Amino acid sequence: MGIWALPTLLVTGLLTALGTADEQMVSVAVQEAAEGAEALHFLQLHGHSLPRAAQLREVRVFRHCVRRVSSKVTGAKPGYAHASDYTTLPLPVWNTPAMWCTGRGAKLIESEARQLRSSDATLDPSTLRMLVDVDQRDATTADSLLQGFADNSRAFTAQAEYSPLLFDAYSPGKGPGVCHAPDMELDIAQKAQLLKETPMPMGVGLVGEMNRTRYMEVLRLMESFIGIGAAGPLTDLTSPAVGRTTSKAGKVKGMITGAPIVLKRFAQNMLYSHASGILYSNASLEQIYDFSSWIYWLRQVSETPVKLVSQKACGGLSIIAKLLGTSAEDARAHSTVYVGHDSDLDALAYLFNLTWEAPPFRARRPTPPGSSLAFAPQGGGRASVHFAYQDFNFTTDRAGKQIAPVKIVKTSPAHVNLAHAKDWIEKQIVKFAGQDCLEACKSALSLS
């Protein structure tokens, strides 16, 4: 096989994620893919930077596939709650039920898994443990991952376990929760603080001192792609704020309101339709990356610590137990893979104090579909962490198939102290969800 040049970001990101100068060196050989293979680049590691015992406890947490985008728009303008109210452009034809993986979305996950397996022998479906949420998109993602991880020269044996409590401790997709819902008044207060502190993308800046001229330019640029619907111009919508809504059950909920709600929804339509090979807008790929920043900005001002900790309490405890090797039920598992949502990556960023950049996405700490955080214990009570993702800038392999190469970047920090992380996670659960939530999750997970 000949040697091919891999994008600099991927090689550099992989090397920096797997080891620094003071650690055992790893050499990487980049080889041409086999004829007809979807993954253009294969990575082979010669030697290893992790002791075998550490490799057995690797944990990787995935966000699910590229999915059909919801048509709901809540909080932009009263009386206009459907995406079609804000556009004259027909919405994408997804050819899949609401919130399910698109056809190409599932194939992208399988291709991603093949590429990751080529550089990580612990991703063996016959030995790894896969824990999955119960939504259809999670189940499809888990199946695609297992097929991509599989060694085609051997009989295929794999299983996935559905464990919704790990992905939502107070309102799981199936079965009762074990924790209380987050304090809504605290959630609203934290949203207001995050909105105050988090600059809006595309040069708009902080809400309290925004560049209003630039903000209007961004809204008009989106209108140039989607038109002006029955709800009227985006420039007539309110600036972002924290509002309140009351459910039919009488519960108050905080929500971000204003034009960014529309920007986020149509940025999703642009990015996910492009990734799915569905014709939609005439925005360039660079413009799609620009607008995608609104997806992640809105998450970063909406997903508050009290909500994330209350929701992911059991999942956070499960992950740190596996990394520390204190989960007896995983004695035979080489690795553990969780398949959930962008909120799981958001929660890990908070619980482990992580951030990352993932070019060409412009946003800080983006969580595109199919992305993952990987934790690999290094000995000495530390674990290295890296972020893997696809940017959907497709290339073509020798067989003429379009593929999206996987990119790997280190997080900041690139290593975490596991004992300190465990202490922090437990303190945050007690602070935001209560001692009873901590004890209930430990009991459900059979942790001491």
Amino acid at 74: T
Confidence of residue 399 (pLDDT cuts 50, 70, 90): confident
Q: Is the model's pLDDT at 137 over the cut of 70?
A: yes
Kindly state the DSSP code that residue 127 receives in the 8-state scheme.
T
Q: Looking at residues 384-413, what average pLDDT do you find?
A: 94
Confidence of residue 398 (pLDDT cuts 50, 70, 90): confident
Q: Give pLDDT, residue 436.
A: 99
Distance CA 184, CA 8 (A): 45
Strands 241-246 and 335-340: unpaired
Closest CA to 307 of 203, 169, 413: 169
Distance CA 38, CA 340 (A): 25
Handedness of CA 217, 222, 226, 230 (dihedral sign): negative
Token pair 């898994």 is found at: 113
In this predicted model, what pLDDT tens digit does every residue of 73-99 receive, in sequence order? 999 999 999 999 999 999 999 999 999
Mean pLDDT score of the chain: 88
For the ranges 83-97, 371-385, 392-406, the lowest mean pLDDT is seen at 392-406
Query: Treating both helix axes as pointing N-terminal to C-terminal, what angle do 103-117 and 136-149 enclose, rounded to 10 degrees?
Result: 40
Q: Looking at residues 236-245, what average pLDDT do you find?
A: 94
Q: Is the model's pLDDT at 364 over the cut of 90?
A: yes
Token pair 């509002």 is found at: 243
Q: Looking at residues 49-74, what average pLDDT do you find?
A: 80
Confidence of residue 28 (pLDDT cuts 50, 70, 90): very low
Tell me which of 24 and 303 has the higher pLDDT.
303
DSSP for 50-109, written as a single string: S-HHHHTTEEEEEE---BPPP-EEEEEETTEEEGGGG-SSPPP---S-TTSBPHHHHHHH
For residue 251, the SS3 value is coil
Q: Give pLDDT, residue 3.
A: 26
Q: Is the model's pLDDT at 126 over the cut of 90?
A: no
Q: Where on the phi/psi map is residue 89: left (φ > 0), alpha (ψ -120 to 50), or beta?
A: beta
For the ranges 2-11, 233-242, 290-299, the lowest mean pLDDT is seen at 2-11
First-to-last alpha carbon distance for the chain, in angstroms, is 52
Q: Is the model's pLDDT at 328 over the cut of 70?
A: no
Distance CA 37, CA 1 (A): 14
Distance CA 443, CA 20 (A): 38
Distance CA 336, CA 144 (A): 16
In this predicted model, what pLDDT tens digit does every residue of 242-291 receive, in sequence order? 999 887 778 888 999 999 999 999 999 999 999 999 999 999 999 999 99
Confidence of residue 151 (pLDDT cuts 50, 70, 90): confident
Confidence of residue 120 (pLDDT cuts 50, 70, 90): confident
Distance CA 356, CA 377 (A): 19
pTM score of the predicted model: 0.87
Domains and CATH numbers, the chain: 8-66+105-176+307-444 (3.40.50.1240), 72-97+183-303 (3.40.50.1240)
For residue 246, the SS3 value is strand
Q: Looking at residues 353-370, what average pLDDT do you find?
A: 98
Q: Looking at residues 359-379, what average pLDDT do you find?
A: 97
Per-residue tokens: 408: 């790997």
Q: Give pLDDT, residue 331.
A: 60
For the ranges 34-48, 176-190, 208-222, 338-352, the lowest mean pLDDT is seen at 34-48
Q: Is the model's pLDDT at 48 over the cut of 50?
A: no
Q: Do 210 and 259 meet the contact criterion of CB atoms below 8 Å apart?
A: no
> Three-state secondary structure along 276-338?
HCCCCCCCCHHHHHHHHHHHHHHHHHHCCHHHHHHHCHHHHHHHHHHHHCCCHHHCCCCEEEE
Distance CA 422, CA 323 (A): 10
Q: Is the model's pLDDT at 21 over the cut of 90?
A: no
